[in-house]
Structures are given as C-alpha cells and as structure tokens.
Amino acid sequence: MEAKEKTRRNTSETEGRIWFNFSRRNFLTVAGWGLFFATIGAYLSQILGYKGFFYPKVLFEPSPKFAVGEPKSFLENSVTTLKSRKIFVVRDGNSFKAISVVCQHLGCAVEFSKEKNIFECPCHGSKYYRNGVNFAGPAPRPLSHFEVVLSDNGKLVVDTSKIVPIETELIV
C-alpha cells in the first residue's frame, strides 16, 4: 500500500513535464525504433488484420444461395429431396418451404417417409412432422427452415445462409 502511494505521489510531481522527454542525443535511436515497430505493425495488420492476407476475398465453395427450379416443376403436395443441396423442398398447394435435411440431434441426413408423411432420422430414430417439428427421438428442436424467394425469372431461390421461423412459407 505504501509503495503504491509513493508511486502515485511521484507521478503527480512529474505531471508538469512533457509526455516523453528525450534529448537530441537519442533522437535517431527513438526514431529508428519507432519506424521499426511502425513497419512491423503495418505488416502485421495487413497480414493478420480484418480483410487482410488471411481473410480470403473469394471462396471456392458452392454458393449458399441457389435456384432450385420453377414452382411448377414441383408436384402439388409433395416433398422433393435435393440431396446435393441438403434440403427438402416441401410444396403444399401453393405454399413452398425449404427444410434442411440435417437432423438437429447429431447432424445425420434425415429421410422423408412417403407412407408415414414424416421425416425420419436413420441414425438415432428422431422423427419430425412434415412441417419439420420434432415429435419423437432425441432431436431437441425442429429442422431448420431456409429462406425461399421467387426470382425475377420465375424460379425458386433458396438461401441456406438465412434461417427463417418454421411458420414461414412462400405462397406463389
């Protein structure tokens, strides 16, 4: 405690001085080190910083937003599995939904059973209704629903980066 107070007193005594005093004698030393650390800092920020070298501008990955076809190409009251896109396109009358195939338990791909009209997970037996709501097995929550929009050229476009509430549907 005493030492702390002493430091504080010393600080207040020197308050009148300039922020950092160096003589002309060591100006070049200070300037050199300053330049050195400024350069290092500039390099590090460009390499490790936000939108720097390690922040790729272009990803060689499939786009999360993709067209799945015209509305009429899906049968009325049907569930279409798009395996490579990992989604189901569910059509009920004029309503369209895009539901993820990824089970909410441990990430297996669920399958649609036409006879029972439910989604079933082959791994641990989770079951989901046709609207994606879980009702049996270990699944803790409903399947993810993705945003579906109608593009200008009349195609359904799914964006798997945007998860929407399960009541959401696109009426065409």
Partner 1 sequence: MKLIPDLIKKITDNEIWRSVFRHGYADTPRNRVLQIISNIWLHLHPAKVREHGTKIRFTWCMGGITFFIFLFETITGILLMFYYVPDVNRAYADIVDLMYVVPFGRFLRNSHRWGAHAMVITVSIHMFRVFLTGSYKPPRQFNWVVGVILLVLTFLLSFTGYLLPWDQLGYWAITVGTNMARATPFLGHEGPFAYILGMRADNDVRFALLGGTMIEAPALLRAYVWHCIAIPVMASALMMVHFWRVRKDGGISGPL
Residue ranges binding partner 1 (CB under 8 A): 11, 14-15, 17, 19-21, 46-47, 51-58
- Alpha helices by DSSP H, the chain: 2-13, 27-48
Q: How far is the CB of 113 from partner 1 (least distance, A)?
A: 44
Side-chain half-sphere of 94: how many Cα atoms within 13 Å? 3
**Which has the closest alpha carbon to 96: 78, 114, 122?**
78
- Tell me the torsion sign for CA atoms 11, 13, 15, 20: negative
Closer residue to partner 1 (CB): 40 or 136: 40
Q: What is the CA radius of gyration of the chain?
A: 30
CA distance 98 to 168: 10
- In whole angstroms, the minimum distance from the beta carbon of 62 to partner 1 comes to 18
Please identify, using beta-carbon distances, which residue of 19 and 24 lies nearer to partner 1.
19
Q: Residues 87, 158: contact at Cβ < 8 Å?
A: yes
CB of 58 to partner 1, least distance (A): 5
Q: 19 vs 167, which CB is nearer to partner 1?
A: 19
15 or 167: whose CB is closer to partner 1? 15
Least distance (Å) between residue 40 CB and partner 1:
11
Which of 17/24 has CB closer to partner 1? Answer: 17
Least CB distance from residue 87 to partner 1, whole Å?
30
